[in-house]
A and B are shown apart, each in its own frame.
Chain A
Amino acid sequence: MSSYLVWGLILLFLIGGALFLRYRYPAGSTGRRRMKWAFWAVVILIVGLFLNYTLPSHDVVRITNTYNRLTTVSWENAWAYASPDTGTGEGTQTRDIRFIEAVHDDDSVVVFRNEDTGWVWPPYFKYDSSNLHAEASNLKSDKAAPQWVMVTYYGWRLPILSIYPNAVKVRAVDSADATVLPWVNILILTALALLVLMLRRMWLQFRERTIDPVVEDADEFLEGIDAQADAVRAQARGMAGRFKAWLDTWRAKPKG
């Protein structure tokens, strides 16, 4: 329950902050312009990080070990582990997780976890982690006779949070220099870009066809009111102006 309270407070803080900044930096001011830049920078950063985490990446490694380890997942890193709903370790925070230890050509190491994503996010629909583990074990090799393996994975290795990228596919390759064209990423990013453009055009069409006519009507209505107000104001200005002109006649004339 308390976590809802915390999120509620954070949300309130963000909304309050946004309202304050809106008031503090009126439209057209330098501050507002900078805020817009900052806003879009943050949005692009978040979207970029999200895609970087979620989209498949490739790594050529030599697999050195595969094993299970009883792992406790806690609130700060649960987002980077399989959801309990996938079926691996349902409803428990301490569970057996499969890991794949590997090493690059330059002896730097990398540890993958091997968990189902099931039918939950991210949409890899992976439910063959047992098979993947068997394949990875089969591809184990030592330094003397290295068997290079192309691992497809998503996620990050962040030791401070104890999170590991999730291996989704392993494939034997001939050399440590093997590369692969990331056509899945190309397809997904293209589709996303097209979707964004499409949504933008849909919005523009909606604005042109639905919002603008309403605004025009409202403008006409307001202009009607405005014209009346102007008439009243002009009349008032007429009286006040005459009075002011009369007062001015009492002022000292500028000399010279």
Chain B
Amino acid sequence: MIAILRLLVFAFIGLSVFYLLLGAYWRSLRRESLEKQWDAAPPEGQGQTERAAFIAKGMAAYERGLKKKLLWLVYIIPMILIVIIAYVQNYQ
């Protein structure tokens, strides 16, 4: 029983690292695309303040969006895989 707890603890640590890295990566991609979107056609007479506001708004939308929620799959998929593997291995 200790072994499965240890597996879960290590899996949690490893997956958390990946979760954070992937989260940072997706945020970075999103921010970059927002910056490019603004810079491609900056609205007339608007400066750095409006640009920052535009990006902040886009990022807030991202934080509430579907993709952010999909990030939880980083934890869910491996857990499902463990269950499937254990089932196929032992109960067929």
Interface residues of A (CB under 8 A from B): 83, 85-87, 118-120, 123-128, 131, 168-169, 201-202, 205-206, 209
Contact = CB atoms under 8 A, between A and B. Distances in A.
A169 B89 contact: yes
B20 to A, nearest CB: 11
Interface in B22-79: 22, 24-25, 28-29, 31-32
22 contacts: A83-B3, A85-B2, A86-B3, A120-B3, A123-B85, A124-B85, A124-B89, A125-B82, A125-B90, A126-B89, A127-B86, A127-B90, A128-B91, A131-B90, A169-B89, A202-B22, A205-B25, A205-B29, A205-B32, A206-B25, A209-B31, A209-B32
Contact of A118 (B3, B29, B32): B3
A119 B7 contact: yes
Interface string B5-30: 01100000000000001101100110
Q: Which of the four size classes fits the interface of chain B?
A: 10 to 19
Contacts of B24: 206
Contacts of B25: 201-202, 205-206
A205 B4 contact: no
A202 B4 CA distance: 31
A87 B28 CA distance: 45
B37 to A, nearest CB: 16
A85 B86 contact: no
Interface of B is mostly: helix
Contacts of A125: 82, 85-86, 89-90
Contacts of A83: 3
Q: Which 8 A-B pairs have the closest CB atoms?
A: A125-B86, A128-B90, A119-B7, A119-B4, A119-B3, A202-B25, A85-B3, A126-B89
Nearest to A171: B92
Contacts of A131: 90
Contacts of A120: 3, 7
A168 B6 CA distance: 22
A96 to B, nearest CB: 19
B21 A202 contact: yes
A120 B90 CA distance: 15
Contacts of B7: 119-120
B78 to A, nearest CB: 10
A172 to B, nearest CB: 14
A123 B82 CA distance: 8
B89 A128 contact: yes
Given A85-B6, A123-B85, A169-B89, 19 more contacts: A118-B3, A119-B3, A119-B7, A120-B7, A123-B82, A124-B85, A125-B85, A125-B86, A125-B89, A127-B86, A127-B90, A128-B90, A128-B91, A168-B89, A201-B25, A202-B22, A205-B29, A209-B31, A209-B32
